[in-house]
Structure 1
Amino acid sequence: MKTTILILAANPQGTSALALMSEIRHISEGLKRSLHRDSFNLEQRVAVRPGDLQIALRETKPRIVHFCGHGTGEQGLVLENDAGQSQCVSTEALASLFGLIGNWVECVILNACFSEVQAKAIVEQVNYVIGMRQAILDRSAIAFTTGFYEALGSGDSIERAYHFGCNRIQLEIPHSLTSRKGTVVEAGKPEIIDEHQIPVFLEKALLTPFQPILNSHSIDREATPMQNNINLIGSSNTNLTGSGTINTYSAPNNVERNQVINNNNDSSRKMEINGNIGGDFNASGQALNFGEMEISGTVTNTIEQPEKAETPEAPQLAELLKQLQAAIETNPDLSEEDKEVALEQVKVLAEAGQNPQAGGLQKASKTAMKIIKGTLVGLPTATKLIEQCNQLLPAIAGLLGLA
């Protein structure tokens, strides 16, 4: 079972601009580069309003919640109202909310200035909370995020990932920016806090038991290709590549059909799979090209949901979204990074298609449209994708009630 990470982002009108999409992209890329990238599912909600919190948390049931935006200390975290203006959510309300869902949320990251206040309240309900002691540079917030998720995706614990995040700030941010006056702890004696010391790690006094984030059957992608015999017992349609000898045996009818791949030099690298194995595997047991198409498959599955909705426009909306997805995936001018960002927004549009009249989803859809258009900036005007988006996006907006 995959570990779901829910990203909540808000940058209301009238507040200082934050590089939220850059931070989200760094989270995605950090996980994508990591050893166990296929063990994580990334969900995101942008332009978040207070009422969206419960909906997003119930829909995704995340193991990790990551908030990126503004914090105000005692007044709470800054979200948006229906007009896109600032609306604070109090510390008490946040602690109460996480008290209701602490049985499935293990870690909360508040990547917002002065969020230590909220972190101290939430950690009474959630095992681990990371907050910020004071204002933090945009660059530092992104550096911390990158180091944290790369480490988490490589199999490190949440606490160890926190330390990797702090160290990434030290590595990437020039020293001239990393030491500044912080909170006054005594009259006339301001505490000097280095930038990498701003994130604070808190742990609940009595931890709620959770299964390890990475399941024990996760495949070691750094395993040395096997030079030993590989025995396959039973029938299989699997293609195996790599050096070594492959011996195949037919199991008697009264014997349960198992496929066993065993590295004889290391008994810990043994994989047993009941039934037939489908797809291509290399000799270390790694599925070929499995992770590359995951985002595409997730988008396709999400599109199929509005297609089944009992509304007249549902089939047409699903078809337009499929066309948009295909146009993005096949365009040679978009970078892989921009493709991933754009496809995530197609997923947001598909989710909105399941309930087009929901106010929160409509706002998310508008933001998704803007982000997709933003990925086209810099492409030649004659690019086919621009022409396709100019046709598809207005039609999709109309079906979602955004026109």
Structure 2
Amino acid sequence: MEISEKIFETAFLEFSKIGNGISNERVSIFKNHPLLVKHENYKYDIKDDAKNQLLTNTWKDADLGTGRILECVKNAINLNSNNLIDWRKKDDFKKLKANRENEKLLFDFFKTKIEDENAFNQFHEIGFSYQLIAYLFFIKNFQKYMPISQEQFDKIFNSLGIDFKTSHNCSWRNYLEYNEIIKQFKKQLSQRFQNVSLLDAHSFLWIYGFQLGSIDEKPKSKKESKLKEREETEILIDKAKPELEIYKPEKVVDLESLPDLENEIDYIENHRRLMEIGDLAEKIVLEDEIEFLKNDFPDLAEKVRLVSNNPKLGFDILSFETDGSQKQIEVKAVSENKNSKSFIISRNEFSKSKIYSNYYVYCVSGINSETPKILRIKNPDFENNEEFIIEPLTYKITFE
């Protein structure tokens, strides 16, 4: 499908209006455009995080039927930051059984041992939603395939006079045409900007859709919606609070309620146990990093080091990406409470997470089980990412 220059100019004019006076001429690389930086470039992080969860380079034929491949793909789908799939659509993947046949399909798809059209049709037959299928193709090859939100993109295409619909049209042919339309916009954008990717063109159309009045700046996850609701409730409560009078506390300790000595908490023992758990978590990650690299990148595997004995570094393990670049890994044994996870981070670790170029936090759960799990968070922006809730647990008091 050929996108005319007139259609592109219409979209670009509205895109510029949304920029509220931002001069497009001053931006040479489209990815650096302030609108993309503010609203859309998080999708690159989702893609990278998904790749780190997939670990397709480590998949072996012996894994088929064990559930490992299914678990890797599930982790790549259920990223906390992933709003490219409606949270209700993510449940589609839970229907898939961890048998050899299903894992062989995923193995062949991500290892490119099966034609993409064949894989698409098999995913559709299993019962995957269009949105989930598109996401799998996106994390496999983001230079060729894009995520999809049928209802919103149908509104975008319709407003531009493009006679094409994706809703209720889940098919390989429809998906190819959808990506072809985005490629046409990439071609037009490339005449104005440098280094335009297919994902940039996808973001351009999504931002254009803001003016339609029905697209959020960034799709809200279930967690984000709950946080917003809680914040609004807290504001109402604060408004209703009367001013408290200044008073002097007069409470004293009830001597009868003091515990017996034998029931008191042994803080030294607790600390020792926490240290053991932390050491075990580091051992699990160290072995996993070496195992991941040693088959295809033995030289890099030999360089992986445990450096937790030097707390000034702010991380526990020095490892490497497959391209040879360093990974600074801070290991955390996480505690889980229903659907949330938590860990303690020191001031130094918090600071170093902002400094190192390739800083990871590896969250290890199920440490004492036969199959511990590792959640990898790359370059976490704890202060500015709403997925993280920061709570002060200790305070430093200085006085003269």
With the shorter chain as reference, the TM-score category is under 0.3
Looking at CA atoms only, which structure, 1 or 2, has the larger radius of gyration? 2
TM-score for the superposition, normalised by structure 2: 0.26
Higher relative contact order at CA 8 Å, sep ≥6: structure 1 or structure 2?
2
Which is strand-richer, 1 or 2? 1
